[in-house]
Amino acid sequence: MVLTDTHTHLYYETDDIKRVELIERCKENNVTRLFLPNVDISSLPLISSLVRSFPNMCFPMLGLHPCSVKAGWQEELAAIKSDTGNHKVVAIGEIGIDLYWDKTLLKEQVEAFRQQIAWAKELQLPIVIHCRDAFNEVFEVLESENDEHLRGIFHCFTGTLDQANKVIGLGFYLGIGGVVTYKNAGLDKVVTEIGLGHIVLETDSPYLTPVPHRGKPNESSYLLYVAQKVAELHQTDLKTVANVTTENARLIFGV
């Protein structure tokens, strides 16, 4: 059985010993494929280091997080793009729009989002979307950019069933993480209505820790609890969830 964490910031742990321990706990829980979203320039070397250390488990993405779109973002975006030639990347991400913290940079976030979608199409790569308090804004961009080359994952999906169906209608997969285990979040009811063929699993570690470890830092090994909850919701076994969602990830990322 292979579980795939399609979205983890495991590289934030820079202590070599602790990092190895995180990886070992992943192996113990059969979480043996880890996809690493980039955030800004500073995270590039952290991701590269982790990929070099664990090349058979870790796969890098490249992108500028919407919360990193600030003064001078065009230069940072150019610097990030120049890194595409240094190693194989499997996606452009995480990219998108975040209006939770600051609504004043919406125009700039949209521009950066569109620019990175263009990269993805140019490089024939999927995109991994960050969307917080901005579903309508993100979906407007996706609809305007929609063509046969646009594909990817709607990371950390926590929306309604109607929103889920809109995402699926564009050919995107839903990234389901620890929130599905939260009692009053409502995501469990949505996931029950969505076929396994439309979802992938993720942790977004060290954030959004699933039950029973909620309140502590998240880690990729905890993907097991997300998978168990999805299996419970779909009245199936853990192996089936692992197989289907891992195959979905292979289709998206090509690895």
Q: Is the pLDDT assigned to residue 82 strictly greater than 90?
A: no
What is the Cα–Cα distance from 95 to 67, expressed in whole angstroms? 9
pLDDT digits (tens, 9 = 90+) for 194-253: 999 999 999 999 999 999 999 999 999 999 999 999 999 999 999 999 999 999 999 999
Angle at 65 between CA 64 and CA 67, to 5 degrees: 130
Residues 6+ apart with CB under 8 A from 79: 41
| Domains detected in the chain | 3-253 (3.20.20.140)
Please state the length of the chain.
Answer: 255
pLDDT digits (tens, 9 = 90+) for 10-34: 999 999 999 999 999 999 999 999 9
Where b means 16+ CB within 10 Å and e means fewer, 209-227 reads bbeeeeeeebbbbbbbbbb
Quick check: pTM over 0.85? yes
- Give the position of tokens 């870790």: 58
What is the Cα–Cα distance from 145 to 143, expressed in whole angstroms? 5
What is the Cα–Cα distance from 43 to 33, expressed in whole angstroms? 19
